[in-house]
Structure 1
Amino acid sequence: MAKHQILIVDDSRMMRNVIKEHLAGFDCDTMEAIDGEMGLGLARKAHFDLIITDVEMPGKDGIEMCRDLKADPSTRGIPILIISSFDSEADIHRGFEAGASAYLSKKDVFDQLYSSVEAILSKSVFNSSKQILAVDDSFLIRHLVETELSKSGYRILTANNGQDALEKMETIHPDLILSDIDMPVMNGFEFCEAVKGHDRFKSIPFIVMSTNSDRGHMQRMLRRGAQAYLVKPFNMDQLTILVDKMLSDHFIMLLKDRENLDSERRMMLSAITSLVNALEARDSYTKGHSTAVAGIAAAMAELSGASKEEVRTVLIGGHLHDIGKIGISDAVLLKPDRLTEQEFAYIKQHPDIGANILSPIDSLGDIVPMVRCHHERMDGKGYPAGLKGSKIPLWARITAVADTFHALTSNRPYRTGMKVENALQIIEDVRGTQLCPDCVDLFLQWIGQDNSKKIEEWDETGSFQGQMLLSDSLPV
């Protein structure tokens, strides 16, 4: 992460040095100015994450500099900490009115400067990451909202009606929406309903801004999913405080949701790992099969350019792809001879059984299609649904290649596993009919990275060294 850039504005060299000493714990670079005019000039030329300023200085004082910074679009988002010996209620009020983010008495510098700077920088980083969409047919309102909220570091996008806003939301996902009600083309009622009815947008906090103070209007908007209602004209400080609170509460809620999701996923994976272990304990062939398929499939996904999260999904799915065999009787699963047509029809139920086991678990939703579809074929002759070509989910197609390779090279109750070279030839022969050509290419690319070594390891142990484990896939 880049160092924080901090500007210190004070006519006292001693005070500037004191402030710099107290900032030593931060990974930051500092610049100094001796008065407001110099500070303003530096702020307009260079980027700063924070400005710390005195009030009483010759020439342009700190309050005047603060007002000028907040009036300039290029600098209005910089947080300002005022440190002054003028610390009466009136002085503090004057500082906040000028746009300061915090006000600290010089006598409190030793005890509170570090924590104050830490809190301001943390909030500034948070605010600058947030995109707010302001929707109003009045240019004046849009300009006012954009000007005031950008002073707190927020990124503002504007639209002049609901339809305009929805079109912009096709490429930009706002973190909060401010919307008027009475607008042409698409009004606030219709816009709010469209937002809350869309899976991607329904969790976005929605604040109404309207001149209509009718209780019925307020109730209608709140029933449509709006979280707050402001009656125009409103105080811009009131709006800023409300936006701060809404985004902060929403952020905390999202963190809790993520923690709950991770906790649920860990517990479920622990339970399912026990099922996999139980399944492998029944069948000497199955033992190690899931780990091998998972490692190969995850490596293929990584080669495809998948994200870390997607590779982790494939890894988990590979471990669980045969979980449905837990519902197949031992008489069929462990039969030492070839299966009859009736028995084969019975064992072909295992992808659906596995998908049904995992389907109730929301956090494993991306894995269910892998489990259900890993026996589908490109020519549509697979099972359970007879899907064809690209209708088969990509991760299932990848898993199918890994599963096929391991099945060919492993010992089964009724035959001995074949040599790797022979298995590779069969995989080439069925590309385009049984297996996805692109996924076969990924597999060959992976095994070709060090072909002789991998073949030697596989023929000796039945699995490649360095295979990833299910425990590696748990969220951290």
Structure 2
Amino acid sequence: MNRQRILIVDDSPTMRKVIILQLSTLDVEILVANDGRLHGFDMVSNHPVDLVVTDVDMPQMDGITLCKKLQADPKTDAIPIVIQSSFDSELNIEKGFNAGASAYISKKELTTSLVGTVRSLLRKSSINRTRRVMVVDDSAMIRKIVGQGLEKKGFQVITAENGKAALALIDSNLPHLILSDVNMPEMDGYAFCRAVHEDSGLSDIPFVVMSVRQEMSRVRRMLSLGAEAYLFKPFNIDELVILIEKLLSDQYHLLLMEKERLSNERKLVLSSIASLATALEARDAYTPPGHSAEVARIVSQMGLLAGLDEEKVNRLRKSISGELHDIGKIGVKDAVLLKPGRLTEEEFEAIKQHPVTGANILRPIDSFSDIIEVVQHHHEHFDDKGYPNGLKGEAIPFWARMIAVADTYNALTSDRPYRKGMTAEKALQIIKEASGTQLCPDCVDLFFKCTDRWGRHQGP
């Protein structure tokens, strides 16, 4: 991913160094110019940047004039501009914002405010470029003016002439915000707003009403149906952009808070289930201490070697697919689970239910939905002679097929009540012979590549 670019425009070499030092804590590319006209404006025109930090008092072209020129050019009017100056009276600050600046910082506050301001503006600008706004209005002129204005500010825009047309577009072009008129043919703003908020997949999208000032009663009705805000026509694009950025920023923070809440909830649940797994291993005569953790470690190495997403590999290792794949044994009777000798056929049938039990334990937890099938199918055989569903070949989830190989290796090399663990060499030979029948050939190949890294006779 390319780094964001910041242009510093200041005629003072000392100030340029100070600003560069301040911004060095950010992962950005920095360009410099020593005046507004000969270097600043020309550089932005020829080398697209994501943000400009400019002084006010400069030769050739001062910062206020540079700001105005950048804002007047359709190619550069969406670039956030930070003005930093020794002139920090209310009049000077007002001049800066009137010229189109996004922020105005006094030089005496540079070391405390610049980095936070720049980081916030870059994040907001980046969010805008990925955000899609749906404009719904029966007036083609309004759709065109508002759509073009938002696109110039960096937003993606989709348009529709009424609520019915908008709903038809939403499935393939899910917007991050909806801007809608009230009076429209076929489906008006009331019906459209109601339909959006009654759909669980759409109800979180901020809904903004466009209306004339004489329709305040209609605006109140739209707000009662779930609309978040309103704008009276006519409005200017800057006014609209400020409102949209505020709503999207609020929604972004709410989503972050919800993500953090779910993450904390998941950690608590995982901690509780991990404690169960540890207790389970302690009471299970057939499962050697550390079995689950070792299977998880082997599977994660196989996953990384297969080129799978590292974040998902780590997530699955830390969560359930490896460490807690046998959690369903918690539902097996002690008389069976703790039996010191070999199991009868009936007792083995009871043991064979533990993948289903494990999946059922996890199923009520929404955040574990992507790993339930791994827990349920890790004892399936490649030749369809496994359990609980008798799946065959690639119908078995890939992660479950990898777990089957790692599980087999650890089981063969571990001591059991009725036998001593095998040597690594003998276990590897058995796994090789089971390739294509009990075990997936591709996963066996991955496993042997891992053993080559470990040292074939030393084990993992």
TM-score (normalised: structure 1): 0.78
Partner of 1:446: 447
User: 353, 356, 372: which one pairs with 1:368?
Assistant: 372
Return the letter of the residue paired with 2:362.
Answer: L
Summarize the alignment of residues 41-80 of structure 1 with structure 2, pairs less than 5 Å apart.
41-54=42-55, 62-80=63-81
SS of structure 1 residue aligned to 2:435: helix
Return the letter of the residue paired with 2:334.
Answer: D
Pairwise CA distance, 1:448 = 2.6
User: 425, 430, 433: which one pairs with 1:426?
Assistant: 433
- Aligned pair 1:136/2:145, yes or no? no
Partner of 1:292: 294
Summarize the alignment of residues 62-461 of structure 1 with structure 2, pairs less than 5 Å apart.
62-83=63-84, 89-104=90-105, 108-109=106-107, 111-130=108-127, 131-137=131-137, 138=139, 140-146=141-147, 148-149=149-150, 154-161=154-161, 174-181=175-182, 202-211=203-212, 213=215, 215-216=217-218, 219-220=221-222, 223=225, 225-286=226-287, 287-315=289-317, 316=319, 317-378=321-382, 381-387=385-391, 390-418=394-422, 419-430=426-437, 434-435=438-439, 437=440, 440-451=441-452, 453-458=454-459
Contact 2:380 2:392 in 1 (8 A): yes
SS of structure 2 residue aligned to 1:29: strand
Pairwise CA distance, 1:321 = 0.6
Measured in 1, the distance between the counterparts of 2:32 and 2:343 equals 79
Partner of 1:473: none
Measured in 1, the distance between the counterparts of 2:14 and 2:112 equals 18
SS of structure 1 residue aligned to 2:118: helix
Measured in 2, the distance between the counterparts of 1:389 and 1:181 equals 56
SS of structure 2 residue aligned to 1:207: strand
- Aligned pair 1:25/2:22, yes or no? yes
SS of structure 1 residue aligned to 2:7: strand
RMSD, aligned α-carbons: 3.6
Contact 2:35 2:60 in 1 (8 A): no
Pairwise CA distance, 1:246 = 1.5
Measured in 1, the distance between the counterparts of 2:405 and 2:64 equals 68
> Which moves more between the two structures, 319-328 or 29-38?
29-38
Gaps of 5+ in 1: 459-463, 465-476
Pairwise CA distance, 1:388 = 5.0
Contact 1:134 1:142 in 2 (8 A): no
SS of structure 2 residue aligned to 1:238: helix
Return the letter of the residue paired with 1:135.
Answer: V
Contact 1:44 1:75 in 2 (8 A): yes
Summarize the alignment of residues 28-39 of structure 1 with structure 2, pairs less than 5 Å apart.
29-36=30-37, 39=40
Pairwise CA distance, 1:298 = 1.8
SS of structure 2 residue aligned to 1:81: strand
Partner of 1:469: none
Measured in 1, the distance between the counterparts of 2:110 and 2:411 equals 65
Cα distance, 1:453–1:121 mapped onto 2, change above 3 Å: closer
Pairwise CA distance, 1:220 = 4.9
Partner of 2:41: 40
SS of structure 2 residue aligned to 1:103: strand
SS of structure 1 residue aligned to 2:387: coil
Pairwise CA distance, 1:345 = 2.2
Pairwise CA distance, 1:134 = 3.3
Measured in 2, the distance between the counterparts of 1:449 and 1:351 equals 26
Cα distance, 1:127–1:146 mapped onto 2, change above 3 Å: farther
Measured in 1, the distance between the counterparts of 2:114 and 2:141 equals 34
Pairwise CA distance, 1:44 = 0.9
Residue deviations 1:105-131, cap 9 Å, x none? Answer: xxx41x212344323321222123221
Contact 1:127 1:154 in 2 (8 A): no
SS of structure 2 residue aligned to 1:370: helix
SS of structure 1 residue aligned to 2:82: strand
Measured in 1, the distance between the counterparts of 2:187 and 2:167 equals 10
Contact 1:420 1:455 in 2 (8 A): no
Cα distance, 1:6–1:266 mapped onto 2, change above 3 Å: same
Gaps of 5+ in 2: none
Contact 1:36 1:64 in 2 (8 A): no
Measured in 1, the distance between the counterparts of 2:250 and 2:453 equals 56
Cα distance, 1:416–1:103 mapped onto 2, change above 3 Å: closer
Measured in 1, the distance between the counterparts of 2:276 and 2:124 equals 45
Cα distance, 1:222–1:303 mapped onto 2, change above 3 Å: farther
Return the letter of the residue paired with 1:159.
Answer: T
Return the letter of the residue paired with 2:284.
Answer: D
> Which moves more between the two structures, 366-375 or 189-198?
189-198
Return the letter of the residue paired with 1:326.
Answer: I
Measured in 2, the distance between the counterparts of 1:380 and 1:186 equals 54
Partner of 1:471: none
SS of structure 2 residue aligned to 1:320: coil
Structure of greater relative contact order (alpha carbons < 8 Å, 6+ residues apart)? 1
Return the letter of the residue paired with 1:274.
Answer: S
Cα distance, 1:374–1:52 mapped onto 2, change above 3 Å: closer
Return the letter of the residue paired with 1:40.
Answer: F
Cα distance, 1:84–1:326 mapped onto 2, change above 3 Å: closer
TM-score (normalised: structure 2): 0.81
Residue deviations 1:245-286, cap 9 Å, x none? Answer: 222222222222222222222222222221111111113541
Contact 1:301 1:314 in 2 (8 A): no
Return the letter of the residue paired with 1:407.
Answer: A
Pairwise CA distance, 1:403 = 2.3
Residue deviations 1:327-372, cap 9 Å, x none? Answer: 2222211223332232122222212222233233333332322222
